[in-house]
Structure 1
Amino acid sequence: MGRVVRVLKLDSRSGRRHADRARALVAGGAGFLGSHLCQRLLADGYEVIALDNFHTGKRCNLAGMARDASFTCIKHDIVDELPADFAVDEIYNLACPASPPHYQADPIHTFKTSVLGSINLLELARRRNAKIFQASTSEVYGDPLVHPQPEGYFGNVNTHGPRSCYDEGKRSAETLFFDYSRTYGIDVRIARIFNTYGPRMRPDDGRVVSNFIVQALRGKDITVYGSGTQTRSFCFVDDLIEGFVRLMNVPLALQHPVNLGNSVEFTIMELAELVVDYTNSRSRIVHRPLPVDDPRQRKPDIAFARQYLGWEPKVTLNEGLARTAAYFETLLGNGRPLAAKRSSRLSLREATAP
């Protein structure tokens, strides 16, 4: 599968091919979110360059775009310096592992990716006078004492725990982006992403939706950490990518990050039960100790995104779980149709969604 992706060396051949098209650089372009963003930008008429070191990104995520003449994939780690003559108009920085098992596997490189990688991309934006987007995270709020979390909340974070390489790396990146904006006048856009799920997540991703679906499809115990009363708000990937594009295209640069996520809140136990129902699985739900610094509540205040971007999620959890489970069903090769059931709990919850 990887052979169909044109992986090029990073050199001066990356100059613009079509003067009438904007060129977008997507760092982390082979990842879960990055590949969906590349696909959307191509559909919107951009030339797209995907940068990825392929530590967690997969070439198969880009296979459908590989033969598009407007698409180029380059193997490169943004921790390493980018060439000065790299020609781009817009930059999206999605280059960082986002699931705890992956970002904790090499915490120092994770932090370097957020900090040194951001500096390298910001320097490129400064040289090219390019607009630049940073994928930040709801993890910057830590284990929040304010609920739901508005953009003005400074968070309740542990600076030296096992999750800190990611949380603090993203907080540092936000600082760098706004300092570059104030110092050099760069047009920066920052999105704080809340729990997102959908096709192209890895089976070993380690995040709750993919974990539960894969465990259910394999007939294994579904592992709930802690009591399961902790909450999350789940946003389908297509909705999130729409938020990225709207944030990048709003005429005036904003002077603060913007929350992007679903404002409908579920407990982890509710999600586990829904996945069991939906996949018609015989898996048992079992409990394990809660990891260090795992947030008890997570729900975005998206009033700003609604008002200024005209954005809010459209895909219900029922629809999103159907599409995600179908993806994993095909990926895992189970060869049996899903016996989908719409839970009464889910129907009630989504009927009251804003």
Structure 2
Amino acid sequence: MSENVLLEDFNTILDSELDVSKFTHQNIFITGATGLIGSLLVKFLLYANIQQDLNITVYAMIRNLKKANKIFADYLDDQHLKFVVAHLGENDLELDAHLDYVIHPAAVTQSKMMVSDPVGTIKTAVNGTEEILRFAVKHQVKAMVYVSSMEVYGQFNSEAKVTEKDLGFIDLTSARSCYPESKRMCELLCTAYSDEYGLNVKIARLAQTFGAGVLTTENRVFAQFARSVIQGEDIVLHTEGKSEGNYVYTADATKALLFLLLNGETKQAYNVSNEDNHMTIREMAEMVVREFGQDGEKVVVDIPKENMGYAPDTHMWLDNSKLRSLGWKPTKNMILSYKSLIDWMK
């Protein structure tokens, strides 16, 4: 059942505004291939190959071969999948092959790591991204997409929708700021590499991404909510849930990154979000219980004493009109996104 949900998503992308035929006979390098975004990009491109005979070769950068073999178990016999084992930021990335495109989603994404190892988080982001930018220049790629985050905006308390030109406050006395501030620095590195070396690099500021394809190890709040209702348990919030979330469905994000590779403007940043998928964490929890609860589950608030590394409350609504103006369209609202997520997780 779960694989079917993913294949339905992939077919939707193939029938969409993304002209995947433009990647015919191209070599595409993807970092963080065992993460959520990276794994979906790899699987989609291999699926597109089979459906449309595109002859795309995917170079999947991974750290752990055992983990990669598990995630890509169904694709290991595919001659178009090549694993590249390297450790981001440690300058051990070597590849003797022609490349056409690079997508760079690899990053530290666990909040707990951001507060327990802020130095490592910064080094992985900044040193790792510079390594990939150098690599892209060396291979003279046609285009690169750097996967940034909506966290670059910092904290907002504005009623207006947030466009790519806006920047909020980041508290530099908080170790948790290692993530958004290093993402800002990575975006600036992209600009610098474009100006100095002529690299055609575009930036995707991703909203929180979830849906079919999430990994079994996923523990972010959306996965916890889904797991709770699948198991018939109350949803427990570890904050008041006042922070406003901006979300985008996994297949819509996958499509957006490939779409930007082909259509995005050099040095430009684009919000990748679904404006209809905007609500507080509390509202999301209540929606999940209402729509998918089985037997009287409810939302419970239980705030722990220790620092869990959660991002500070923010009130921000991401404007996606810049990406939509290129022709990209999101497809799934929150209820449909959760339906697919729950079907996949079951």
TM bracket, shorter-chain basis = 0.7 to 0.9
**In structure 2, how many angstroms separate the alpha carbons of the residues matched to 1:203 and 1:282?**
26
Counterpart in the other structure of 1:94: 105
Does 1 or 2 have the higher relative contact order (CA < 8 Å, sep 6+)? 2
Deviation sequence 1:297-333 (CA, Å, 0-9, x none): 23211111111x211311122221111111222xxxx
Q: Which runs of 5 or more structure 2 residues have no equivalent in the other structure? A: 1-23
Alignment of 1:145-224 (within 5 A): 145-146=157-158, 147-224=160-237
Alignment of 1:225-244 (within 5 A): 225-244=238-257
Contact 1:143 1:294 in 2 (8 A): yes
Contact 1:84 1:124 in 2 (8 A): no
Alignment of 1:21-100 (within 5 A): 21-42=25-46, 43=48, 45=54, 46-54=56-64, 59-81=69-91, 82-83=93-94, 85-100=96-111
Displacement after TM superposition at 1:57 (Å)? 6.7
Secondary structure, counterpart of 1:227 in structure 2: coil
Alignment of 1:6-21 (within 5 A): 21=25
Match of 1:286 among 300, 304, 323: 300
Match of 2:313 among 295, 305, 327: 295
Contact 1:32 1:57 in 2 (8 A): no
Contact 1:136 1:191 in 2 (8 A): yes
Secondary structure, counterpart of 2:61 in structure 1: strand
Secondary structure, counterpart of 1:259 in structure 2: strand
- Is structure 2 residue 335 aligned with structure 1 residue 318? yes
Q: Which runs of 5 or more structure 1 residues have no equivalent in the other structure? A: 1-19, 330-354
Secondary structure, counterpart of 1:165 in structure 2: helix
**In structure 2, how many angstroms separate the alpha carbons of the residues matched to 1:162 and 1:86?**
39
Q: In the superposition, relative to structure 1, how do residues 298 and 202 fare at CA in structure 2: closer, same or farther (>3 Å)?
A: farther
Contact 1:30 1:59 in 2 (8 A): no
Displacement after TM superposition at 1:216 (Å)? 2.5
Deviation sequence 1:74-132 (CA, Å, 0-9, x none): 33212122227453221111111323134445332222221111111111111111122
**In structure 1, how many angstroms separate the alpha carbons of the residues matched to 2:66 and 2:156?**
28
Q: In the superposition, relative to structure 1, how do residues 170 and 281 fare at CA in structure 2: closer, same or farther (>3 Å)?
A: farther
Contact 2:69 2:76 in 1 (8 A): no
**In structure 2, how many angstroms separate the alpha carbons of the residues matched to 1:328 and 1:202?**
9
Q: In the superposition, relative to structure 1, how do residues 195 and 209 fare at CA in structure 2: closer, same or farther (>3 Å)?
A: same
Counterpart in the other structure of 2:15: none
Q: Which stretch of the first structure deviates more once superposed, 225-234 or 241-250?
A: 225-234
**In structure 2, how many angstroms separate the alpha carbons of the residues matched to 1:187 and 1:173?**
15
**In structure 1, how many angstroms separate the alpha carbons of the residues matched to 2:280 and 2:104?**
30
Displacement after TM superposition at 1:60 (Å)? 2.9
Q: In the superposition, relative to structure 1, how do residues 60 and 275 fare at CA in structure 2: closer, same or farther (>3 Å)?
A: farther
**In structure 2, how many angstroms separate the alpha carbons of the residues matched to 1:223 and 1:56?**
33
TM superposition outliers: structure 1 runs of 4+ over 6 Å:
none
Alignment of 1:235-274 (within 5 A): 235-250=248-263, 253-264=265-276, 265-274=278-287
When the two structures are superposed, what TM-score results if normalisation uses the length of structure 1? 0.80
Contact 2:200 2:267 in 1 (8 A): no
**In structure 1, how many angstroms separate the alpha carbons of the residues matched to 2:165 and 2:84?**
37
**In structure 1, how many angstroms separate the alpha carbons of the residues matched to 2:89 and 2:220?**
25
- Equivalent pairs counted in the alignment come to 308
**In structure 2, how many angstroms separate the alpha carbons of the residues matched to 1:229 and 1:217?**
24
